[in-house]
Amino acid sequence: MSGMGGLSAAARAALLERLTRRRGEEAPAAPAASPGRDLSTLPGAAEIAMMREAGAALGLESPYFRPHEGIAGARSVIGGRECLNFASYNYLGLNGDPRVAAAAKAAIDRHGVSASASRLASGERPVHGALEAALAAHHGAEACLALVSGHATNVTVIGQLLGPRDLILHDALIHNSVAEGARLAGARRVAFPHNDWRAAERELAAQRRRHGRALLVIEGHYSMDGDVPDLARFVEIAERHDALLMVDEAHSLGVLGPTGQGVAEQCGVDPARVDIWMGTLSKTLSACGGYIAGRRALVDLLRHAAPGFVYSVGLAPPLAAAALESLRVMRAEPWRVRRLQENAALFLRLAREAGFDTGGSAGLGIVPVILGSSVRAARMAAALFEAGVNVQPILFPAVPERSARLRFFLCSEHTAEEIERAVAALVAASR
């Protein structure tokens, strides 16, 4: 697109609008011959190139993959410049906490950096069992299993538990890892409208008898919208239709409920009524990895049969130690959860008062500012970055074009003054 540099600003904006409105309904024409080793024909390559060229035509630098030069919490340093940071999952400010760092360093001194093997094949360390016992207690579950990746946890667990005769019913906004797990399982996959428990029950009632096992999957706190499901309703639906209920707590732990216990505490539901609790270690717990908590029989099966656990190296000991210490600090210092929720509520109120569309955000940790245009979202993110506020735009095709947004992640370490400054910068960037 070498000739695009001479386009007017309006023409460039119109071009990117046209490009981002593509929905992919039209299948690409079959190539005349095998693409062979031409990597530009791989799925998704053309779309990435198109977006990169369109962004360059608009004079917009990519906001992605910017290196942070220190700890990314409420504030960060990017390109040698300190900025307010609203693009981190460090909800309770525990990444960088000296106690968490000390626990990780002690684990390195004792066990080294890596488990060096599958836990099944001699990669087990005492810290793994300690972390799993603490997470099981956190969820009121009988047992827990920690894996090296949150994404891989959903993929391997769903892929292991379900098969072609089974049904997976999930929220339309469920994380990619659940969809990939369903694809691996080969089960029939049905999506219901976001947070619509009535639609979920209609689908389950219509489909249940034609399948062997059924799995209903929701999230405790949706990362794109910051809203929360009516957990009690979904529990009742699963019990009524003999389905397993799985709740992804990736963005719930440390964020929802008065003490950060998660969506069960937020909604006043007995956690034992949920069959499968899934969570990640990379957000509130400031480490990396994923876990499953539930009945002992489930965890024992996964421990011996889930490919993503059996055939993968064990969770690195310093990561397990960091997550365990983060969980201990979170429980000992509930003020962190309270401050996070106060900060999110303040941001949500100020953004709404300024006239921004924040969707259905509950104001507990995640607040989207929905702008309805990928061009506008990209431009406002760039203007905010220039003003010293780091926030990521979420553009088509990650969300529908009319739902392009800036996604603000709040932290317990943000101050009220910083939040007010960020909203003021948001208002200025929108003019």
Please list the active-site residues: 223, 251, 283
Q: What is the DSSP string of 83-146?
A: EEE-S---TTS-TT-HHHHHHHHHHHHHH-S---SBGGGTT--HHHHHHHHHHHHHTT-SEEEE
Residue carrying structure tokens 């034609």: 210
Asked if the peptide bond before residue 397 counts as cis, ω within 30 degrees of 0, the response is: yes
**Which amino acid, one-letter code, is at 247?**
V
Strand order in the sheet with 188-192: 143-147, 290-294, 276-280, 244-248, 214-219, 167-171, 188-192
Q: 126: which residues sit within 8 A by CB, 6+ positions away?
A: none
For residue 296, give the H/E element and its range: helix 296-305
Reduced to 3 states (helix: H, G, I; strand: E, B; else coil), residue 339 is: helix
Token duo for residue 285: 């717990």
Rounded Cα–Cα distance for residues 110 and 240 (Å): 49
Would strands 244-248 and 188-192 be described as parallel, antiparallel, or unpaired? unpaired
